Structure 1
């Protein structure tokens, strides 16, 4: 591999400090560091897959959040940009805020699920604000006959360079490799970065003050682990694993996220199964401790069909600007309070709750319309069967076409109230049976009379989260 050349103009940029790139003899310019912004939200980048491949889309999708746990997909959960070269698709996107407070996006060059493909390139975009994406290119990272999966980037202040970290296979082992860059266009020769002596996949890095953390999936037992090092130098994490394995089985793609306003940490993992589209979360009060505990699904809601995501902090102004640019979904999903992995859906015209994920995934998407019988209420219109609404018939909820009658309008209108089991959630009272609420019973939706004297279990059955 030829050593990349750096232009004289780059070297002589006004006000640039410089450092010698280790092992290359080349001078690199340090990116100008601006004051860290005050963060007030989070952005997630991802691609989408679903169990029967209905949702498979290998462009960059975005979602935003104020708490880092419950997400609003942007652009109707459609991609905001899609690669136009290489395989024509991406997996494993990573969003990084650079030293100048603009963003770079790197991603695996792979469309679909044929993981036998060799590819030495990654996709890269620049973005000033995650509302537009420019400078698309593919950058070659190495010449090895292998893949280049799950690229991430980090700033190494000791080098005044960015490291691009990725999974590749050399010889008989999967390990992590790194290339250094200042502009995400020219990169240094690849180096072995992390090799603990067994196959690993999906590196994610958190650069701290005094300690740095690298989380990964081990193929030795299928668990997620964290390694720690005071240095960012290649091979410095090799003996630094300090956690016992989080979860056993089909989990990969760890992401470590610190809460913006407190010392709380979240570890996200992705289902190993292709086309599954299910994410899991663990929590810790101290990333230095060996103490990750699973977070119940009542605490978080992932974007629809999201796979192998990336999460980065953003400001409140960036959050608002992205929402203005891309828009919130015109539909909602409804999560059960006491079965938080279940969503309201229709199946063969019956209304029920089923565990996410499933296909057709649009069976769980609803447009909340002004109530057909009273605009102060709401009616649930199916996204994939426009003109059909949830209504009660003999107290059971079904999906049916609006026949325009006053009887249908009354049966299909409900009034949203504070959740009967939790005031932060929602319950839905029937318009024409005013003491009856939507609830699930044996996973089927119906209306039943409920009130303050009802059992806690019955009130829980009638409580839902309105989300995306």
Structure 2
């Protein structure tokens, strides 16, 4: 079967992945003789009006931890059946035997008054099937067990499960229980308490002999470090980073360079991910990553990122499939995506509802199959077409004029050849661009116009 010319070449993706190889370790002990070359993200979904909210486990994959492909059409791959019947804050750990365990907060929705002492637990050999589902009780306190994560403590030959709970101190601290099987645990104890309210702990273990713990303090992400994993051994050292109110830190190591990424999730509005980078965790300082370089999965919230092998990446895509739709991100306003609103084409800041307004099927051009037409996902009888040079969402009336107005040729991006631009079929000197956030077709000459006419086709 020939490859779809409207989508990135699979050979290109696999070629990029082949360059990304590194033996993975958990703590200081190799988990198994394998190489990791890609990443999987776990998350739940929320959108501003709740149209895209789902409290099951969602998965996305990436060859570089920056550009993500949601799996299963961005639907959940597994959903809790006990407790509240929903999850938040999932975490994926590769265990010492090479298989995975998934942990998550037992909470469906946003009723923070619910005080579950339990977390959800699944086992998985491949993240395509999930077994041994159960809830695990972590403590007897009248408080929650939020944002559980796990790590291998080689000195104890046990896994530590860390999570946020209100201790006798009266504020949230990071607690820890130890386990060998994620079925029974030791008594809870305080893992980290800097003397003020903190939640959402995320660990990087054994980085040049140092362990790093990032967490949310107030509305910022802050780091602590320790040469051991002992409870009470971590001390705060980093400069806080934030983009608005930021929570849910994720530390991710590049597999091709010395770069570390710190992801953060804004809790208003509805989980916009931002990323920072550093080549040396010991400095505690971070530089913001250009939003052009990364795209979070649609409606994703409070994620977890785990390295996987090329085989695991391919198997996940084969099992769940890539989305049947795309989103288009603006080059010079990378927080904005192409959408229709009141049947007018425009770019708006993510997130918004209905989120389906930004989902498009890039189908063979109605006037020329070597071109492309933009079919709306939530109004499938309608396509983007130009009318008086402005892009509108109209019902296909099967006329030649409509077909021509709705057909465009995808070219190398005018501002960046790794992105895309779209030239009009029947006005070949004009390209789709945004002007005052509204889409139209115009002749393009200046650098600003080239940037206005450049888009990323992703998910």
Q: Is 1:265 matched up with 2:260?
A: yes
Residues matched between the structures, number: 429
1:244 aligned counterpart, secondary structure: coil
Give me the whole-angstrom Cα distance separating, in 1, the residues matched to 2:327 and 2:176. 40
- Classify the secondary structure of the residue corresponding to 1:288: helix
3-state SS, counterpart of residue 337 of structure 2: strand
Q: Which stretch of the first structure deviates more once superposed, 430-439 or 105-114?
A: 430-439
CA contact (8 A) 2:210 2:227 kept: yes
Query: Residues 458 and 124 of structure 1: is their aligned pair in 2 closer, same or farther, counting only changes over 3 Å?
Result: same
Name the CA distance, whole Å, in 2 between partners of 1:33 and 1:290: 26
- From 203, 215, 221, the counterpart of 1:224: 221
Change (3 A) 1:362 1:281: same
Q: 1:37 is matched with which residue: 21, 34, 39?
A: 34
Residue 247 of structure 1, CA deviation: 2.1
3-state SS in 1 of match to 2:329: strand
* Conserved 8 A contact 1:415-1:431: yes
Give the drift of 1:316.
Answer: 1.0
Q: Give the corresponding residue for 1:327.
A: 321
Structure 1 residue 223: Cα displacement = 1.7
Among candidates 308, 312, 334, match of residue 306 of structure 2: 312
2:273 is the counterpart of 1:245: no
Task: Identify the residue that residue 459 of structure 1 maps to in structure 2.
Answer: 450
Deviations 1:163-201 (A, max 9, x none): 000000023111011111111111111111101111111
Shift in Å, 1:248: 6.6
**Which of 170, 184, 187 is equivalent to 1:186?**
184
Aligned pairs for 1:113-124 (under 5 A) are: 113-124=110-121
Residues 192-226 of structure 1 show CA distances to partners (whole Å, capped at 9, x for unaligned) of 1101111111000111141101001113xx22111
Conservation of the 8 A alpha-carbon contact between 1:343 and 1:356: yes
Counterparts of 1:311 and 1:159, CA distance in 2: 25
Counterpart check, 1:443 vs 2:441: no
Match of 1:427 among 421, 424, 430: 421
The separation in 1 between residues aligned to 2:165 and 2:254, in whole angstroms, is 31
Segments of 5+ residues of structure 1 without an aligned counterpart are: 1-31
Query: What per-residue deviation string (whole Å, max 9, x for no partner) do you get for residues 132-153 of structure 1?
Result: 1111000100010000000000
Q: Contact between 2:242 and 2:264, CA under 8 Å: does it hold in 1?
A: no
1:354 positional shift:
0.6
Larger radius of gyration: 1
Worse overlay, 141-150 or 206-215: 206-215
User: 1:406-463 CA deviation, whole Å, 9 max, x = no partner?
Assistant: 110000010100000100000001111111110111111011122xxx1100111100
Specify the alignment match of 2:210 in structure 1.
211
Q: 2:199 aligns with which of 190, 198, 201?
A: 201
TM-score w.r.t. structure 2 length? 0.92
- Residues 179 and 191, structure 1, Cα contact 8 Å, conserved in 2: yes
CA-CA distance at 1:33 after TM superposition: 6.1
Q: Check whether the contact 1:51–1:277 (CA below 8 A) recurs between aligned residues.
A: no
SS at match of 1:35: strand
Question: How large is the Cα RMSD of the aligned pairs?
Answer: 1.1
List per-residue Cα deviations over 1:275-313 (Å, max 9, x = no partner). 613111111111111220111211100000000000011
1:384 aligned partner: 378
Q: Distance in 2 between matches of 1:212 and 1:252?
A: 20
- In 2, are the aligned partners of 1:33 and 1:100 still within 8 Å (CA)? no
Q: 1:36 to 1:247 in 2, by over 3 A?
A: farther
Partner of 1:369: 363
Aligned to 1:29: none
SS class of match (1:38): strand
Give the whole-Å Cα distance in 2 for the aligned partners of 1:38 and 1:232: 26
Please identify, of 204-213 and 72-81, the stretch whose mean Cα deviation from structure 2 is larger: 204-213
CA distances 1:345-387 after superposition (whole Å, capped 9, x unpaired): 0000000011111000000000011110110001000000011
Give the Cα–Cα distance (whole angstroms) in 2 for the partners of residues 420 and 248 of structure 1: 30
Match of 2:278 in 1: 284
Rounded Cα–Cα distance in structure 2 between residues aligned with 1:375 and 1:63: 30
Unaligned runs of 5+ in 2: 1-28
Q: Map of 1:100-179 to 2, 5 A cutoff?
A: 100-171=97-168, 172-179=170-177
Task: Indicate if the aligned counterparts of 2:243 and 2:266 stay in contact, CA closer than 8 A.
Answer: no
Q: 386, 397, 402: which one pairs with 1:403?
A: 397
TM-score where L is the length of structure 1:
0.90
SS at match of 2:34: coil
Q: Distance in 2 between matches of 1:369 and 1:248?
A: 37
Q: Distance in 1 between matches of 2:237 and 2:441?
A: 52
Kept after mapping to 1: 8 A contact 2:139/2:187: yes
CA distance in 1, matches of 2:319, 2:384: 32
